[in-house]
Structure 1
Amino acid sequence: MQSSKNITIIGTGAYGTVLANVLTDNGHNVIMHGIENSQVNDINDNHINSAFFRDLIINENIKATNDFPVAIEKAEVVILSVPTFALDSALDNILKYGKRKMSIINIAKGLDEENLDLLSNKIIKKLENKNVMKNFGALYGPSVAIEVILRKPTCIMSCSKDKVFADFIANLFSNEYFIVKSTTDIAGCEVSAALKNVIAIASGILQGYSASDNARASLITIGNAEIYKFAKVFGAEMTTFMNFATLGDLILTCSSFKSRNFSLGMAIAENNSAATALKYHKKTVEGVASAKVAFKLMEKYKIDTPLFEIMYKILYNNLNPSNLINSFFKFATVV
């Protein structure tokens, strides 16, 4: 285990809280920055984050603040744990208040819709040559938040083009219940982390229509193959699509009732309409936005991914979701 580091987590959401718990278990000094006073106070005063985990106790050494300069003042490592729509604001604050070079680790899952690019490229372009970023990496993999809080065994991937930094991240987080392996294929892991959520919505639709386990297994296989077609555009390696951040996370998200994307898919089938399901779905579901970016990538790079195409039409063109079942076996040609 590494010597103690000063770590700032930007965001007080579920997964940021999970990672704060892991890192403080490992003896690091963790401060979280949040914009919700109730969550900040909950963490400081009660050692819980009841908005996400009810009365489950988290490590009492975790600190929280809504004062960004205070949060980042002593940071050696900064973890970006905000939704993709809040990423620009977080980066602006780092540029404004950062006083030294820090290691940046992204855990936000998504793609850069504006530039049809990787989030990692967006982050690097914004922070490089500004004297605030020492190195950059990311963390992805199958890790349902509630299970990690309960310290259930979990294996994920640290990613960076710099192998030394990827190993640094792995060592930073790894302990007896949270195992992290490293890779330099950040593109493959990042694209899969974003697009697997679209496949999870499709899997939820199958579940909602009482499709078979056979169908879900086929869907996961087809989905993994189609995601690789997107990732290949960004230089990803095929072998990456057998690791925890790709195949592992895809299997989990497509089969767990704890998955927001899977749950949305079930609601779409129940309502027989994506528009109706989304109207009443309060939680952020990353796969909806990712389907839109995927469709734009399909058009730009002429990528043949029929499963993603039909999911886009279900989510944005009001196509009846039963078409996923009716057209299912046509997708098998992509494998």
Structure 2
Amino acid sequence: MKNKNITIVGTGAYGTVLANVLTDNGHNVIMYGIEESQVNDINENHINSAFFRDFIINDNIKATNDFAIAIEKAEIVVLSVPTFALDSALDNIIKYAKNPISIINIAKGLDEDKLDLLSNKIFNKLKNTNILKNLGALYGPSVAIEVILRKPTCVMACSKDIEFANIVSDLFNNEYFIVKSTTDIAGCEVASALKNVIAIASGILQGYSASDNARASLITIGNAEIFEFAKIFGAKLETFMNFATLGDLILTCSSFKSRNFSLGIAIAEKNSALSALKYHKKTVEGVSASKIAYSLIEKHKINAPLFEIMYKILYNNLNPSILINNFFKYAKVV
């Protein structure tokens, strides 16, 4: 593939590791960030110490806090921002993009206002402009620190257009970062958002010293319930055997590097979600995802008892021990 000019919006951990992958593959990458210290760190020291201490990244990566400069030559834009910052990023693209671009979203979440997919949010915001050329996403089990160390990782390139999914795959694919293609962007998006709720539940089991058997069962039930949500958006059952779905779920539910798993442990230790969240400084996506999931349950009458229990633990301060005592008997699997 011919080298591409790629802009990554965001200088966070995962955006940084993807910049590293892309520059390892010979592409021209510039990152846009609002934190001047991170921008300077990348340009001057070839590190992003806010996330990776002194781990050296590819010295061909450039960074700027000027959005107009960042997108000036972009052929492809990777959206690496939290879901709450997505509107702002899209507004900047509309304002500063001068040529049609392809967009790859890596934000994990759902549109809380419309209870919809982020891909639909992006498409609807840009559909009446001449900016959007292609739209896709990249999801899968990929702890940032492991990718920066170039340890083997497998993820999914997602797009309704299989040709663009294959382009995304070719952009990122190399000997340590393996990328497969799928057209089921809906299934991958929903799984990537809702697996964080199950990870909190898994952490609660860990905190109460539950068995490995219990966690295996929880992951199985969680995967089945996530599909109940995903099929509303047209997802396919076979999708729930790929890296972005089952793979990411297993990782997030078992890794101590997962913020959601760690929050679950803290909830069990304090025997209260309210107490744990009061002292948990880091953003934990599964908390907001649980609220969105509960709204979807009510709107579409989804049978998802595990998600209902998690909502009550996180938002009604239900005693978290109820998870161990109740979710198995209501379990529904595919």
Which TM-score band (shorter chain)? over 0.9
Partner of 1:17: 16
Q: Which amino acid aligns with 1:104?
A: I
Unaligned runs of 5+ in 2: none
Describe the superposition over 1:19-78 as per-residue Cα deviations: whole angstroms up to 9, x where unpaired.
Answer: 000000000000000000111111111110111001100000101100000000000000
Partner of 2:51: 52
> Where in structure 2 are the equivalents of 1:198-213 lying within 5 Å?
198-213=197-212
**SS of structure 2 residue aligned to 1:332:** coil
Q: Which amino acid aligns with 1:152?
A: K
Q: CA deviation at 1:334?
A: 4.3
Q: CA deviation at 1:3?
A: 1.2
Which deviates further from its counterpart, 222-231 or 273-282? 273-282
**SS of structure 2 residue aligned to 1:96:** helix
**SS of structure 1 residue aligned to 2:123:** helix
Contact 1:201–1:263 (Cα < 8 Å) also in 2: yes
> Where in structure 2 are the equivalents of 1:133-144 lying within 5 Å?
133-144=132-143
Q: Which amino acid aligns with 2:190?
A: V
> Where in structure 2 are the equivalents of 1:5-44 lying within 5 Å?
5-44=4-43
| Aligned counterparts of 1:280 and 1:63: Cα–Cα separation in 2 | 36
Runs of 4+ in 1 over 2 A off after TM superposition: 331-335
> Where in structure 2 are the equivalents of 1:187-266 lying within 5 Å?
187-266=186-265
Contact 1:222–1:331 (Cα < 8 Å) also in 2: no
Give the total of aligned pairs.
Answer: 334
**SS of structure 2 residue aligned to 1:182:** strand
Query: What TM-score does the superposition give when structure 1 sets the normalisation length?
Result: 0.99
Contact 2:305–2:327 (Cα < 8 Å) also in 1: no
Q: Which amino acid aligns with 1:325?
A: I
Q: CA deviation at 1:128?
A: 1.5
Describe the superposition over 1:215-250 as per-residue Cα deviations: whole angstroms up to 9, x where unpaired.
Answer: 000000000000000000000000000000000000
Describe the superposition over 1:183-242 as per-residue Cα deviations: whole angstroms up to 9, x where unpaired.
Answer: 000000000000000000000000000000000000000000000000000000000000
> Where in structure 2 are the equivalents of 1:310-329 lying within 5 Å?
310-329=309-328
Contact 2:6–2:77 (Cα < 8 Å) also in 1: yes
Q: CA deviation at 1:129?
A: 2.8
Q: Which amino acid aligns with 1:179?
A: I
Contact 2:305–2:331 (Cα < 8 Å) also in 1: no
Q: Which amino acid aligns with 1:321?
A: P
Does 2:67 match 1:68?
yes
| Aligned counterparts of 2:313 and 2:35: Cα–Cα separation in 1 | 34
**SS of structure 1 residue aligned to 2:330:** helix
Partner of 2:104: 105
Q: Report % sequence identity.
A: 81
**SS of structure 1 residue aligned to 2:331:** helix
Contact 1:48–1:55 (Cα < 8 Å) also in 2: yes
Does 2:273 match 1:274?
yes
Partner of 1:126: 125
**SS of structure 2 residue aligned to 1:168:** helix
Contact 2:225–2:332 (Cα < 8 Å) also in 1: no
| Aligned counterparts of 2:332 and 2:69: Cα–Cα separation in 1 | 54
Q: CA deviation at 1:131?
A: 0.9
Pairwise CA RMSD? 0.7
**SS of structure 1 residue aligned to 2:14:** helix
Contact 1:82–1:108 (Cα < 8 Å) also in 2: yes
In 2 relative to 1, CA 333–105 (structure 1 residues): closer, same or farther, beyond 3 Å? closer
**SS of structure 2 residue aligned to 1:246:** helix
Contact 1:7–1:75 (Cα < 8 Å) also in 2: yes
